[in-house]
Amino acid sequence: MNLKAYLESRRIEIENFLEVYYREPFEPAILYESMRYSLLAGGKRIRPILCLTAYETCGGKISDILAQASAIELIHTYSLIHDDLPAMDDDKLRRGKPTNHVIYGEAMAILAGDGLLTDAFRLFSKSDLISGDLLIRGINILSANAGIYGMVAGQALDIVSEGKDGDKETVEFIHQSKTAALIKASLIIGGILSGADSRYVGALSEYGENIGLAFQVTDDILDITGTTEELGKPKGSDDKKNKMTYPAIYGVEKSRLIAGECVNNAKNAISVFEEKAHWLLEIADYLLTRTK
């Protein structure tokens, strides 16, 4: 199986799980519809896939943690809904479709995000296969990296930095927090839930931090070089909003070099897994060369 087939098979597993998990409607119907609209709108599902791949690399069977990996996607989707709001980035297009607030209004979009965020932890905590101790450790990692010590902090600084002169320290903090933190958490959680020791979990953490940064730098580059059709969102939106990005500070070519260096660092970090790291190595290269 090549990487494209591997990613697609994992993506379908996540999609199927999410479809079944939210198959039964709840009241009010408008909230249910709004949550499903954004959650099932497509996407790469890279965060839950990384969680599954890390678990598998550590010797686990991926079907054991589909719930926990999918919970990470709930959190990612909530962040996209809120990020698109008029008070944040005011985007009208996400994954090639109108954003949640365009369809359901701002209030319901906020509540849909709130619903996905809180339900993620209910979903994550449910397992007959993973011990309560490991689930608690995973929840601790997830909440820290999705919250004020990770994604939320990065989003906050991203907002207050709009229109300001860029500096290296600020842009690195934004990228490491806003994007890399949840990607890193996905990998750490896969290792923790497998029962792996600190040596392997540490390797996954370093790998995740580096590919997370490479992922966001590549996103920033694609915002300049890609098309709206490829990206599923408006091209050039970062520049229009005077966002603090790597290309804005370093230029496109140097940003490519930085992303490449991050990928190399990530691949070196998981040498401890030897041949078991096959898919993680290929995913690292894919995240650098993707076009959308």
Q: Write a three-state SS string for the chain.
A: CCHHHHHHHHHHHHHHHHHHHCCCCCCCHHHHHHHHHHHCCCCCCHHHHHHHHHHHHCCCCHHHHHHHHHHHHHHHHHHHHHHCCCCCCCCCEECCEECHHHHHCHHHHHHHHHHHHHHHHHHHCCCCCCCHHHHHHHHHHHHHHHCCCCHHHHHHHHHHCCCCCCCHHHHHHHHHHHHHHHHHHHHHHHHHHHCCCHHHHHHHHHHHHHHHHHHHHHHHHHHHHCCHHHHCCCCCHHHHCCCCCHHHHHCHHHHHHHHHHHHHHHHHHCHHHHHHHHHHHHHHHHHHHCCC
Of 201, 31, 187, 168, whose CA–CA distance to 112 is shortest? 31
Q: Where are the domains of the chain?
A: 3-289
* CA 65 – CA 98 distance, rounded (Å): 31
Quick check: 240 and 202 in contact, CB under 8 A?
A: no
User: Using 50, 70 and 90 to split pLDDT, how confident is the model at 146?
Assistant: very high
* CA 214 – CA 175 distance, rounded (Å): 9
Assess whether pLDDT exceeds 70 at residue 153. Answer: yes
Tokens of 61: 């069977």
- The percent of residues in the chain predicted with pLDDT above 70, rounded, is 95
Assess whether pLDDT exceeds 90 at residue 164. Answer: no
What confidence tens digit (pLDDT) does each residue in 76-96 have?
999 999 999 999 999 999 988
Which CATH number does the domain 3-289 belong to among 1.20.120.1150, 1.10.600.10, 3.30.70.100, 2.40.170.20?
Answer: 1.10.600.10
* CA 120 – CA 67 distance, rounded (Å): 9
Assess whether pLDDT exceeds 80 at residue 237. Answer: no
Tokens of 114: 């709130």
> Which residue is listed with tokens 């907002």?
159
State residue 98 phi and psi, 5-degree precision: -55, 140
What confidence tens digit (pLDDT) does each residue in 185-204 have?
999 999 999 999 999 999 99
Q: What is the pTM of this model?
A: 0.94
Instruction: Name beta bridge partners: 98.
Output: 93
Assess whether pLDDT exceeds 90 at residue 181. Answer: yes
Burial of 156 (0-12, 13-18, 19+ CB in 10 A): middle
Q: What is the pLDDT of residue 48?
A: 98
* CA 267 – CA 281 distance, rounded (Å): 6
Q: What is the pLDDT of residue 80?
A: 97
Q: What is the pLDDT of residue 158?
A: 92
What confidence tens digit (pLDDT) does each residue in 38-68 have?
999 988 999 999 999 999 999 999 999 999 9
Of 155, 135, 136, 179, whose CA–CA distance to 47 is shortest? 179
Of 181, 186, 114, 121, whose CA–CA distance to 154 is shortest? 181
* CA 73 – CA 54 distance, rounded (Å): 16
Assess whether pLDDT exceeds 70 at residue 281. Answer: yes
User: Using 50, 70 and 90 to split pLDDT, how confident is the model at 230?
Assistant: low
What confidence tens digit (pLDDT) does each residue in 91-118 have?
999 988 999 999 999 999 999 999 999 9
Q: What is the pLDDT of residue 274?
A: 94
> Which residue is listed with tokens 């966001």?
216
Q: Average pLDDT, stretch 132-141?
A: 98
**156 Cβ contact list (under 8 Å, min separation 6):** none
> Which residue is listed with tokens 């690292």?
284
Q: What is the pLDDT of residue 223?
A: 87
